[in-house]
Amino acid sequence: NDDLHPIAKVPVVITALAASIYSIWCTYIAFFGGTIPLLGIQLSGGFRTGVFWLFFIDPIMITVCYWFSMVIFVPMMLILAGLKKQNR
Beta-carbon count within 10 A of 55 CB: 9
> Residue 57: what pLDDT?
94
- Provide the residue-wise pLDDT of the chain in tens; the chain has 88 residues: 456 667 767 887 888 899 999 999 999 999 999 999 998 999 999 999 999 999 999 999 999 988 888 888 888 878 877 776 676 6
> Residue 84: what pLDDT?
67
Beta-carbon count within 10 A of 39 CB: 9
pTM: 0.75
> Residue 16: what pLDDT?
87
